[in-house]
Amino acid sequence: MKPKLADVAKEAGVSPTTVSRVINDHGYLSNATKDKVHAAMDKLNYQPNSLARSLHGKKTNLIGVIFPSITNPFYAELIQKVENQLFNHGYKIILCNSADNKEKERAYLRMLIANQVDGIIAGAHNLGIEEYQKIGLPIVSFDRQYTENIPIISSDNYAGGMLAAQELFDAGCRKIQFVGSGSRTANPTGRRLTGYRDKIKQLALEPHIFSVDFNDPPAVKLLGIKQLLKDDSLDGVVCSDDLTAILVMQAAQQVGLNIPTDLKVIGYDGTEFMRTYYPQLSTIVQPLNDLVALLIKTLFERIDQPDAKFANNHFVLPVEVKRAETTRK
């Protein structure tokens, strides 16, 4: 049977009120009394009710984290770093995988509100969800634009798109294709495509864009990319993310193209996973540690000052090129 507060009181030899005061850190209590109560809680494996604490104006020390995928290496590493940093600050997370499903995301938002989380870090792709307009919780967004009042933390996607195109040009490419999802122009990640377009224009080249839907299974994406490589005399590919770059490398091998002799490829994200298992891939590296630190710092500011007006609601961190085998001259 699940232990109750009264069971803890009986085990510790104190009143239920004293147990409640220990849990909520309310009023003066001796260290000996606190130690007895905590020892009883540990013995009975008693867990305080976070929702009950929130009803008494206490923090739940819970943060909601909403992302579209937990299998994508970039999101997986970002979430892991967020969880580690929040845990070090005394918080736990409720992880919500929205899977690009607007109704699923709405359901998770309602659940987080019901659980009275102290704040939310959101990086889901679904735009126009009205709940974000009226939610009464501190929210910080990663790379997504929800409302004007919700701060956005992102890396410089526009500069990343330009750097990727320049890297291929410097490697000798002259027919440079953009492959990936670039349709979400309202979001910061859509600026990777804009950066590519502007750099290609500066270089007096023609833009070539092959759209890949974020939601398509890898096998479907691979078929389309193979057809692209068969039909076009490309010599360079800018990919919107590293997973797409891996598919381009696989497709090139299957159609008999050698990388980097026949085709040069650059990805985007530069996670530890990709740098470890695909060290040959040139990529644009996002500063994950700095992004996570800024996400958490900004969220804590909103939690501590819920009524404050902040002058800056969009924070952009620089990216860098990691040059490797796939763009070798």
Residue range 222-226: average pLDDT?
95
Which architecture, in CATH terms, is 62-155+289-318? 3-Layer(aba) Sandwich (3.40)
Q: Which helix (H) or strand (E) holds 35?
A: helix 31-44
Place of tokens 């040009």: 169
- The correct CATH number of 5-48 out of 1.10.260.40, 3.30.70.600, 3.90.230.10, 1.50.10.20 is 1.10.260.40
* pTM over the 0.85 mark: no
Q: pLDDT tier at 3 (50, 70, 90 boundaries)? A: confident
Nearest to 182 by CA among 202, 155, 212: 212
Calpha distance 297→283 (Å, rounded): 27
pLDDT at 54: 47
| Full DSSP string of 99-168 | TT-HHHHHHHHHHHHHTT-SEEEE-------THHHH--S-EEEES----TTS-EEEE-HHHHHHHHHHHH
Cβ neighbours of 148 (radius 10 Å)? 9
Least confident segment among 66-80, 125-139, 163-177, 274-288: 125-139
Is residue 54 within 8 Å of 60, Cβ to Cβ?
yes
pLDDT at 55: 45
**In the predicted model, is pLDDT for residue 235 greater than 70?**
yes
Q: Which residue has the higher pLDDT, 124 or 117?
A: 117
Instruction: List where CATH 1.10.260.40 sits in the chain.
Output: 5-48
Calpha distance 30→101 (Å, rounded): 51
Q: Which residue has the higher pLDDT, 101 or 171?
A: 171
CA 209 to chain centre: 25
- The correct CATH number of 157-286+321-327 out of 3.40.50.300, 3.40.50.2300, 3.40.50.410, 3.40.50.150 is 3.40.50.2300
**In the predicted model, is pLDDT for residue 284 greater than 70?**
yes
Q: What residue type is assigned to position 16 of the chain?
A: P
Calpha distance 204→225 (Å, rounded): 25
Q: What residue type is assigned to position 243 of the chain?
A: L
Whole-Å CA distances, 278 to 105, 229, 270 = 33, 21, 10
Q: Which residue has the higher pLDDT, 285 or 39?
A: 285
Q: pLDDT tier at 295 (50, 70, 90 boundaries)? A: very high
